[in-house]
């Protein structure tokens, strides 16, 4: 199913990224950004991983360097990047020094991977703008996908309310908006429907929902999550 993407709040395409540390997490970040068409520089202290990144074409460029050395980072142009991802989870000292180095040099957005709560706290103290806990986040995300509707797109109106795109759930198939009475039952409103090409925005109560259509729904995050999967 093609998503409509009209809600995507995407960053400009000419952003440059550097990923420091080419473990499984770092490689996944490189690959995704590269596939999306962004300029990505991958770096690692391990020459083998750098060569592998080049051979497998998971980044635009790859350089071997020790990220605890500010000079090496500077020479590689890391300080000119818009976003630096510090993907060193298991080497605390290296992860902390690297985060400090890139933030002190003025990189606007520094995202750092933490392997524990305390590691995350220290990363924030040394300037990380965003700290991620991938294993934890993946576990929570899995639990959500098993129990909550999968939103194709989400536009956050504020911290509590969103507009989302979601596939019409099985339970709504062949029912009209009037029959479903989503405002009463779930506290949400359907703004539009789409078959992937065109939107119907002026919905009437007799509109029938069918599986495969996409609904654009507005509501509180809490209520949106109550929609069936
Ligand atoms: P996973 O593979 O599970 O994603 P991870 O992201 O926690 O693990 P780590 O084992 O912490 O990965 O290491 C990530 C990479 O960081 C390794 O490939 C390692 O060689 C690299 N690395 C460690 N120290 C430095 C350093 N000083 N400079 C550059 N790269 C480093």
Torsion from C-alpha of 217, 220, 224, 225, nearest 10 degrees: 160
* Nearest by Cα to 76 from 45, 32, 31: 45
> CA nearest 30: which of 58, 2, 6?
58
Strands 161-167 and 199-200: unpaired
Question: From ligand 1's centre to the CA of 222, what distance in Å?
Answer: 37
Mean pLDDT value across residues 105-109: 97
- Structure letter (DSSP) for residue 127: T
Q: Give the list of residues 6+ apart from residue 155 with CB closer than 8 angstroms, or none.
A: 7, 9, 162, 163, 164
Tell me the CA–centroid distance for residue 34 and ligand 1, in Å. 19
Q: Is 116 in the pocket of ligand 1 (CB under 6 A)?
A: no
Taken in order of first residue, the domains within the chain and their CATH numbers are 11-136 (3.40.50.720), 145-224 (3.30.70.1450)
SS3 percent helix, strand, coil of the chain, rounded to 5, is: 35, 25, 40
Residues 89-106 have a mean pLDDT of 97
Q: Is 87 in the pocket of ligand 1 (CB under 6 A)?
A: yes
Whole-number Å distance, alpha carbon 120 to ligand 1 midpoint, is 16
Residue 120, C-beta contacts closer than 8 angstroms, at least 6 positions apart: 114, 131, 133
Which pTM was predicted? 0.76
d(CA 124, CA 120): 6
The gap from C-alpha 48 to its chain's centroid, in whole angstroms, comes to: 28
Asked whether the beta carbons of 214 and 206 are under 8 A apart, the reply is no
pLDDT tens digits, 65-97: 999 999 999 999 999 999 999 999 999 999 999
Q: Give the pLDDT confidence of 154-206 residue by residue, as tens digits.
A: 999 999 999 999 999 999 999 999 999 999 999 999 999 998 889 999 999 99
- Place 7 in a pLDDT band, splitting at 50, 70 and 90: low
**Residue 150 · residue 167 · CB < 8 Å:** yes
- Lowest-pLDDT choice from 3-7, 29-33, 85-89, 135-139: 3-7
pLDDT, average across residues 148-155: 87
User: Is there an atom of ligand 1 within 6 Å of 17 CB?
Assistant: no
Going by pLDDT thresholds of 50, 70 and 90, the confidence category of residue 146 is: confident
Question: Is residue 122's pLDDT more than 50?
Answer: yes
Instruction: Give residue 10's pLDDT.
Output: 54
- Which tokens go with 67? 């990220």
Q: What tens digit of pLDDT does each residue of 10-22 get?
A: 566 689 999 999 9
Evaluate: CB of 23 within 6 angstroms of ligand 1.
yes
Query: Is the pLDDT confidence value at 229 over 80?
Result: yes
- Predicted confidence at residue 2, as pLDDT, reads 41
Please give the number of the atom of ligand 1 that sits closest to the Cα of 68.
27
Pocket of ligand 1, candidates 44, 63, 123: which has the most ligand atoms within 8 Å of its Cβ, to mutate?
Answer: 44
**Ligand 1 atom closest to Cα of residue 26:** 6
- The per-residue pLDDT for 73 is 98
Which atom, in ligand 1's list, is nearest to the CA of 94? 27
Cβ(90) – ligand 1 distance below 6 Å = yes
147 pLDDT tier (thresholds 50, 70, 90): confident
- How far apart are alpha carbons 132 and 91 in whole angstroms? 15
């Amino acid at each position: 199913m093609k998503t409509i993407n009209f809600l995507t709040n995407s960053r400009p395409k000419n952003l440059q990224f550097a990923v420091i540390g080419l473990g499984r997490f770092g490689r996944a970040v490189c690959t995704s950004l590269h596939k999306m068409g962004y300029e990505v520089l991958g770096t690692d202290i391990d020459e083998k991983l750098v060569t592998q990144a080049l051979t497998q074409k998971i980044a635009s460029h790859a350089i071997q360097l020790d990220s605890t050395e500010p000079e090496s980072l500077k020479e590689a142009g890391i300080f000119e990047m818009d976003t630096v991802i510090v993907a060193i989870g298991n080497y605390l000292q290296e992860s902390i020094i690297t985060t400090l180095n890139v933030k002190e040099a003025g990189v606007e957005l520094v995202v750092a991977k933490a392997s524990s709560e305390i590691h995350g706290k220290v990363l924030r103290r040394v300037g990380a703008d965003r700290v991620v806990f991938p294993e934890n986040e993946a576990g929570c995300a899995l639990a959500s996908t098993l129990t909550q509707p999968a939103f194709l797109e989400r536009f956050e109106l504020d911290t509590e309310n969103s507009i989302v795109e979601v596939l019409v759930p099985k339970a709504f198939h062949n029912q009209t908006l009037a029959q479903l009475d989503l405002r009463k039952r779930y506290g949400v409103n359907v703004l539009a429907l789409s078959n992937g090409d065109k939107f119907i925005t002026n919905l009437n109560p007799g509109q029938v929902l069918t599986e495969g259509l996409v609904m654009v729904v507005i509501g509180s995050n809490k209520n949106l999550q109550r929609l069936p999967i």
